[in-house]
Amino acid sequence: MQVQTYLFGAIDVAPEKVITFPKGLIAFEDKTRFMLAHEEDKGAPASFTLQSLDDPELAFQIMDPASLGFSYELELSDEEDALLQSPAPEDAAVMLILYKKEGEGAGIAPSLRAPLIINLKARVGLQKLLVQVATNVTLSNLVNKV
């Protein structure tokens, strides 16, 4: 299928590349079909664009928390596990949505409290809202400067 997007113009999307978020994303519950895109000619991407197939103007930059030095241990409820079709650990990807911070300390930041969990094999995902980020989130890329 061909989809018109704000960032990439008209693109062809193979049906097997569609990622379904049955419950949508926070504040975008009615947008359930997405695809991952990145610039092919730039080597291994640091981030991806999660492009809505339901709204051409809706796209999010996402990235692997490991590339930021974060590690998550997430527990899925029975409902979440069923929605994700019980993925094997190697078939599940955790990604963070990046957002623009305003005011003091303005810049781009990851949404640590609402990671995406995607079953790469079944192409289905969810956004998990964490009440608090557990203290076992670790930073592994810190450099000790003396």
Q: Which is it for strands 116-119 and 92-101: parallel, antiparallel or unpaired?
A: antiparallel
Q: Do residues 70 and 80 make contact, with C-beta atoms less than 8 angstroms apart?
A: no
pTM, full prediction: 0.82
Half-sphere exposure of 98 (CA within 13 A, CB side): 17
Q: State residue 146's pLDDT score.
A: 43
Q: State residue 22's pLDDT score.
A: 97
Q: State residue 104's pLDDT score.
A: 81
**Residues sharing a CB contact under 8 Å with residue 62, sequence separation 6 or more, in sequence order:** 36, 47, 48, 49, 50, 95, 96, 97, 98, 116
Q: State residue 143's pLDDT score.
A: 52
- Mean pLDDT by groups of 10 residues along the chain of 146 residues: 81 90 96 85 76 92 89 88 93 93 83 94 95 58 48
Q: State residue 41's pLDDT score.
A: 62
Q: State residue 69's pLDDT score.
A: 84
Q: State residue 105's pLDDT score.
A: 76
Q: State residue 24's pLDDT score.
A: 96
Domain ranges of the chain: 2-127
2-127 adopts what CATH topology? BH3618-like (2.30.290)
